[in-house]
Amino acid sequence: MLRFLAYLTLVAVAAGGASLIVTRPQTIPDSAIAGIEADLARGEQAFHAAGCASCHAAKGAEGEARLILAGGATFETPAGTFVAPNISQHPEAGIGEWSRAEIVTAILAGTSPGGAHYYPAFPYGSYAKAELADIVSLAAFLETLPEDPTPSAPHDLGFPFNIRVGIGLWKSIAVSNDWVIDTRGDETLARGRYLVEALGHCGECHTPRTATQGLDSTRWLAGAPNPSGRGTIPNITPGALDWTVDDIVAYLTTGFTPDFDVVGGSMTSVVQNLALLPEADVRAIAAYFKAVPPVE
């Protein structure tokens, strides 16, 4: 019996050790980005495509004010309220003292400079598919933006969501680098897929969640409950949205629907971001929306 108990203890310790290895925070080393030359123009496009200003600029900010990334936007969820942090270049309140590799690690791996998992309210699960050169360029662009001394506010989360230890396990289960649709060599669709599934992280809001809170790729972009509990986020697959490519492009760049309604809510900021992308990119996004499997 003692031998059996010792065996069980050994198995438990081994399983626990393996779990810690699998779920430990991942990092991007300096050596992985050492040979990548940052392109500020590319970084600025990634900034707009990724919607950084939507969460980290002041609510209602316009023009140059959208480049002051003091944070403060709040996101109500069943787990509690998440607050976007200051990611300006301020050395204490923001990320001014972070290395470029630390910024890239935060975006692609959801790991802080201190080695902690970020909550997935930060959509690193989608950003993980982004090209390393885009994120290095984005980090370089962030380094050119202004400082702001506003301290980051803490999240307001109840137990057990205020304990981060389980996030590593969630990452190993719910985060995937697999693409949702096959673009079959079509360059326009491939670009649209990249912008929608990776940088634009559209699925984070428009796709329902599985039991483990990963994105349900079988109902991709089919709409989902609003995390705040108020209303729903719409189905934007061809099964529900009958707009043409031109209609979608017009909506994403001007905010006007084919029925002359006007964009509202959080999509207002999305339109502000996408309007700053090259028209070819917005058309690629529209083509992608028309190509995803329809969900009624």
Give the count of alpha carbons within 13 A of 135, CB side only. Answer: 24
Q: pLDDT tens digit string along 3-16?
A: 433 333 333 333 34
- Contact by Cβ (8 Å): 183, 290: no
Give me Rg for the CA atoms of the chain.
Answer: 20
Q: Which one-letter amino acid corresponds to residue 137?
A: S
Per-residue pLDDT at 18 exceeds 90: no
Per-residue pLDDT band at 22 (split at 50, 70, 90): low
Looking at the DSSP bridge assignments, the partners of residue 224 are: 233
Give mean pLDDT, residues 67-82. Answer: 92
**How far is 219 from 258, CA to CA, in rounded Å?**
25
What's the distance, CA 108 to chain centroid?
9
Of 197 and 265, the structure prediction assigns the larger pLDDT to 197
More confident residue, 252 or 19: 252
pLDDT for residue 270: 95
From CA 30, how far away is CA 33, in angstroms rounded?
6
Instruction: Give the confidence band of 20 by pLDDT, cuts at 50, 70, 90.
Output: very low
**Domain coordinates in residue numbering, the chain:** 27-174, 187-291
Name residue, tokens 């500020």: 40
pLDDT in tens, 147-197: 999 999 999 998 888 888 889 999 999 998 999 999 989 999 999 999 999
Which residue has tokens 């990334």?
69
Q: How far apart are CA 20 and CA 51, in angstroms?
A: 33
pLDDT tens, 185-212?
999 999 999 999 999 999 999 999 999 8
Question: What are 107's two structure tokens?
Answer: 């975006």
Q: What is the pLDDT of residues 94-133, one digit of tens each?
A: 999 999 999 999 999 999 999 999 999 999 999 999 999 9
pLDDT at 2: 36
